[in-house]
Amino acid sequence: MKNILVTGGCGFIGSNFVRLALGELKESRIVNIDRLTYAGNLENLADLKDNPRYRFVRGDICDAEFVNRIFAEERIDTVVHFAAESHVDRSIEGPAEFIRTNILGTFTLLEAARKAWLAPMRVTSREPRKNRFLHVSTDEVYGSLGETGYFTEETPYDPRSPYSASKASSDHLVSAYFHTYDLPVVKTNCSNNYGPYHFPEKLIPLIINNALTGKELPVYGDGKNVRDWLYVEDHCRAILTVLQKGSLGETYNVGGNNEKQNIEIVQTVCDLLDEKVGLLPDGKPRRDLIRFVKDRPGHDRRYAIDATKIREELGWTPAVTFEEGIRKTVDWYLVHPDWIASVLDGSYQDYYEKMYGGRLKHD
Ligand code: NAD
Ligand code: TYD
């Protein structure tokens, strides 16, 4: 792992991963390619700008010429692929970009890796493999659970939103490249993450921001949908573990063993903020801001991960409990009001111009 290509490293999980990986893998360089969509924020990695083992290049993973050039120029031997459109509600409003980035983008990267690593001579599976393509995916590909049961690596795929369908499709492409071309791939399917740098359109950071500023807290449907929450640093450590020890062609489910109903999450955030910054100016508790609103179409009822395989085979377990993780997260947002404001009004995108001298044009 000398030259690692990280895609989508300016997003929530990617930025946490790049920082962790540079600290842990002292012999590795990281090249981060990111298109800097609304979800990608260069400031998330501002502290690494002068690190000689880190390079950022703005670009689109669907652009084959660009991706091939990076593979050649940087002699990429390892890929950790995060780049995606990631928000379910946006995928319902406008699925096209999800199909493009999540499916076509993954295909473009797989093709680049195939050309760079397997051509001109096909490597046979007996030879030691120095390359690795880790595809970061989601538990949402498995569909929705009832009251009981867990997703295992054998659970049949049953995606139900345009987002999860696009991720499922990319997962199938990754598996196909392993079976057809022997491309050295590994795949992780993780549950809902939370923590620093989470874009405030997703449940936890949205609720923190709204509750801080006294806005209403929208809870979809009856609020009893269940997600399995994992602190982002634990997910990043799981990815590092799979990168270093995972078996080629295998999938590893990653989860926090931490199921919560949405309403519990919202109430916990309200109570923590009341405790940390005091009640609302009118003396009321933040729970009063909760509003049950129209449900998300096709809203998956429950996700829960069985993470036995990654625990038993690779020795990974989450280190941060939900109680610790949610406190750390709330604290991070409390001391980063400028970050929240700049990602919400889009002004963080001026940073690209300042730091890299180019204009950040959005199509
Ligand atoms: P995010 O939306 O915060 O970040 C995505 C990043 O990808 C952004 O920096 C964006 O600019 C970049 N990007 C988007 N389209 C691009 C393109 N065409 N070319 C290059 N870069 C592009 O997402 P996240 O929450 O950090 O998720 C990262 C990955 O992890 C995704 O693949 C997602 O499916 C997966 N995942 C997320 C969660 C979660 O809870 N957030 C859980 C499991 C899996
Ligand atoms: P989200 O953070 O969008 O993640 P995902 O849909 O990928 O699980 O949503 C988490 C849960 O919170 C999901 O059940 C939908 C719900 N939700 C709300 O109730 N209100 C909101 O404003 C949002 C964004 C989500």
Distance 274 CA to ligand 1 centre (A): 31
pLDDT tens, residue by residue, 157-183: 999 999 999 999 999 999 999 999 999
Looking from the CA of residue 61, the nearest atom of ligand 1 is: 19
Q: Residue 114 in 3-state DSSP?
A: helix
Please report, rounded to a whole number, the percentage of residues in the chain having pLDDT higher than 90: 90
Distance 99 CA to ligand 1 centre (A): 13
Instruction: Name 192's Cβ contacts closer than 8 Å, sequence gap at least 6.
Output: 227, 228, 229, 230, 303
Distance 83 CA to ligand 1 centre (A): 4
Residue 262 CB less than 6 A away from ligand 2:
yes
List, by residue number, the catalytic residues.
Answer: 139-140, 163
Question: How far apart are the C-alpha atoms of 269 and 105, rounded to whole Å?
Answer: 36
pLDDT band per the 50, 70, 90 thresholds, residue 88: very high
pLDDT band per the 50, 70, 90 thresholds, residue 49: confident
Instruction: Name 99's Cβ contacts closer than 8 Å, sequence gap at least 6.
Output: 162, 166
pTM of the model: 0.96
CB 341 within 8 A of CB 213: no
Residue 66 CB less than 6 A away from ligand 1:
no
Name which of 118, 112, 116, 100 is nearest 37 in CA terms.
100
